[in-house]
Structure 1
Amino acid sequence: MPSADPIPTPVPVTESLPTHPDRLRVNRSPKAFGSGAYSLVDLPAGAVFASITGTSPGRKAYTSVQTGRDTHIELNSDLVYCNHSCAPSLVFDMARMEVRVGDDKPLKVGDALTFFYPSSEWEMDQPFQCTCGASECRGWISGAKTMSADELDGYWLNGHIAELLNERK
């Protein structure tokens, strides 16, 4: 009997179909999780880098982004190559469906495009040991659920993460 699964399989992002060719370049690596995105533009702190469009509903997965308490999306774009950093260059604002430059510093051509995964992820599908090298590196990244208020202090957080943290108190 065919599955009645309402969530489609993510559309793979291909080299031949960049979705943001004026904004970012993707450096692909044969190494697992070694690919990354880099800025092609200079933008001031707080500026909109890109709108999040063309998404599809998803499940908690290493390729998805959490949009609410129990909802995830697949980006279906080259934004999926924006990696984690504990000193992120971007904010993924899931309420506004936009990616913005962080409020603390401008974005320069060539900068790695990164965001702080616990800002959108309550519980990661695939936790990992962070190797971002930032002085404020948080080490083991498994989502906001396992982080203390002190560890999250100073980071921009999506509304659903802030709500879940308040409920945890």
Structure 2
Amino acid sequence: MGLFSSDFSIYPFGELSLENCYPSTTDFQVISTGDGRGVGIKSLRQIRRGHLLCKVSGQLLASRRLHTLEINEAVHMYDPHFTGLLLHSCDPNVFLDMASLELWALKDIVRGDLLCMDYAVTEGTLMRQFACQCGSPNCRLWITGSKEPLNEEGKKFLGQLNCDCDSAVGS
């Protein structure tokens, strides 16, 4: 990266170089969705299904919080710059491999697509369960971690929709 390059790392850490495949401002943009889902990551380039998008990083913590991802039940990776901003979808376009700390394309991604993962794939227990807004045909409506039961708020929410709670949240 040259002195006048417009390609900067999304991470504020100098040791995570673009040459080592960490996310850059040329490839990704942090945006506000404007539709109630919050902040997300938009792709600024096309990425083919099965290709590596980037490597990811973060600070290891012993507790779950906003913008953490579960490495195991006792260790969570805090990344408020990139992976902690990936939106949820029941029909995701990316997969976050927590063993290798790499982000992979599950589908072809076109410029402008928001990067979305299924939170139940990486999280046994979420910091908080929530109503899904992904809009996919296979939407589970209420999002939980893969190892946690539906909470009372979720039961009430799904009850108002008159749906089968077990099939709605199943991963």
On whether the aligned pair clears a TM of 0.5, the verdict is yes
Q: 1:131 aligns with which of 112, 130, 133?
A: 133
* Amino acid in structure 2 at the alignment position of 1:135: P
Change (3 A) 1:30 1:101: closer
Q: Which whole-Å deviations, capped at 9, do the CAs of 1:35-61 have from their partners, x for residues lacking one?
A: 2211011111111111012x1112211
Give the aligned partner of residue 42 of structure 2: 38
Aligned length: 134
Asked if 1:151 is matched to 2:151, the reply is: no
Is the contact between residue 37 and residue 133 of structure 2 (CA under 8 Å) also seen in structure 1? no
Distance in 2, Cα, partners of 1:109 & 1:71: 34
Residue type at the aligned position of 1:57: L
Q: Out of 10, 17, 20, which is 1:18 matched to?
A: 10
How far is 1:18 from its partner? 3.1
Partner of 1:68: 72
Q: Match for 1:57 among 55, 60, 68?
A: 60
Identical aligned residues as a percent: 23
**Counterparts of 2:91 and 2:80, CA distance in 1:** 25
C-alpha displacement of 1:29: 6.0
Whether the aligned pair in 1 keeps the contact of 2:67 and 2:83 (CA below 8 Å) is no
1:62 to partner: Cα distance: 2.5
Q: Give the structure with higher Rg (CA).
A: 2
C-alpha change, 1:107 and 1:29, in structure 2 (3 Å) is closer
Is residue 94 of structure 1 aligned with residue 98 of structure 2? yes
Shift of the alpha carbon at 1:145? 1.2
More relative contact order, 1 or 2 (CA 8 Å, 6+ apart): 1
- Residue 157 of structure 2: aligned partner: none
CA distance in 1, matches of 2:35, 2:46: 29
CA contact (8 A) 1:85 1:114 kept: yes
Looking at structure 2, the residues matched to 67 and 88 of structure 1 have their Cα atoms a distance apart, in angstroms, of 19
The Cα shift of 1:30 comes to 8.1
Give the unaligned 5+ runs of structure 1: 1-15, 153-169
- Aligned equivalents of 2:76, 2:139: Cα separation in 1: 25
Structure 2: runs of 5 or more not aligned: 1-7, 12-23, 150-165
Counterpart residue type for residue 170 of structure 2:
E
- Tell me the CA shift for residue 63 of structure 1: 1.2
Question: 1:23, 1:34 → 2: CA distance?
Answer: 20
Deviation at 1:139, TM superposition (A): 1.2
Question: Residues 98-132 of structure 1, C-alpha deviation per residue, up to 9 Å, x if partnerless?
Answer: 01101xx2111111101000000001111101011
Report the RMSD for the aligned CA atoms in angstroms.
2.5
